[in-house]
Structure 1
C-alpha cells in the first residue's frame, strides 16, 4: 500500500540511501563539481531539517518502505520596488529510488507537495534541475512545470 507523509527521524537511513543515489547521478554528470560517495546532508543535518517547520520533507512509502522523498523549503520573497511579496515552496531535492522508478511515485510526491503548498497559501512551487539530467527536466515539464530562470556558466 502506498502512503505519502511527512518524513520522520526513523526515515533517516532511507533518506541517506536515496541521497547517495542523487549524488551519484550528479557526480557522474559533473565530476568537476560533485564529490562521489557522499551525500548532501549527514544524519545530524537531516535531524535538524526534520525538526524545522520551514524545511518540510515528504516521503512516499510502499508497504512502509521509503521509495522517494521531496525536501522542501519555505521561502518568503518580501515585496520591494521590483518584486511582489510572495511565499514560495521550493523543492530543494526530490528523488525516487532507482529500483522504484516508472511507478508514478515522483508524480505522487509532486502532487502531495502541491497540495501542501496550496494549503499554506503559497503562490508557487519551484525547483532547480541540473542540465546534466535531461530526464528529470522532461519529467518536471510533463508535470506542467515551466522554466522561469536558466543558470549559465563559463568554466575557466
Structure 2
C-alpha cells in the first residue's frame, strides 16, 4: 500500500483522536464518542496547532484512511549555539498497520522535515510504560540521554 504523509486537516481530527485513544494508556486519557464525536477541546487544540508555523500535525494516509499520526514541534533555543530542535510527540500507528514499517517511515519523515527546517537535534518523549516503543526508537538511533519530568495541571491551570 502507498502511504502519503501530509499536514493534518480539520476533518482528520476524529481519526487522529481515535488513534491517540487506541491503546491502554491513551484510552485512559483521550475521549472519543461511539460515532467518532470528539469534544470541543480537540477542535480548539487542532485550530491552535494548525495556526502555529512551528507546529506540524502529520497524518500518514493510505487507501483513503488515516493510518498514523504524529505532531512535530520546531523549537528555537539559545542552547547548542542557538540551535533549533524538533520535538516528535504523539506518534501513533493504527493497530491494523503495526509491524509493517509505517512507524519507521513516519520517523524518517519527521527527521527529514527537521533537517529541511535546519534543526540540529531531534528529540522525543515516550511514556515509561511503552517499553516496545523505547526499543523501536533505539533501533532507529535515538538514545535515552535525559530524564523527563512533568507537572500535570488541571483544566483550569490549577
Are 2:74 and 2:84, in contact at CA under 8 Å, matched by a contact in 1? Answer: yes
- 1:18-38 Cα shifts (integer Å, max 9, x gaps): 12125x3256xxxxxxx5453
Unpaired segments of 5 or more residues in structure 1? 28-34
Q: Aligned to 1:147, which of 119, 144, 149? A: 144
Unpaired segments of 5 or more residues in structure 2? 33-40, 151-158
Pick closer, same or farther for the CA change 1:108–1:73 going to 2, 3 Å. same
- Show the counterpart of 1:16: 17
* C-alpha RMSD of matched pairs (Å): 2.1
Are 1:26 and 1:132, in contact at CA under 8 Å, matched by a contact in 2? Answer: no
User: Which TM-score applies when normalising by structure 1?
Assistant: 0.81
- Give the count of matched residue pairs: 141
User: Which TM-score applies when normalising by structure 2?
Assistant: 0.80
- Show the counterpart of 1:102: 99
CA distance in 2, matches of 1:120, 1:151: 25
Work out whether 1:78 is the aligned partner of 2:78: yes
Q: Which runs of structure 1 show a deviation greater than 6 angstroms over 4 or more consecutive aligned residues?
A: none
- Show the counterpart of 2:53: 53
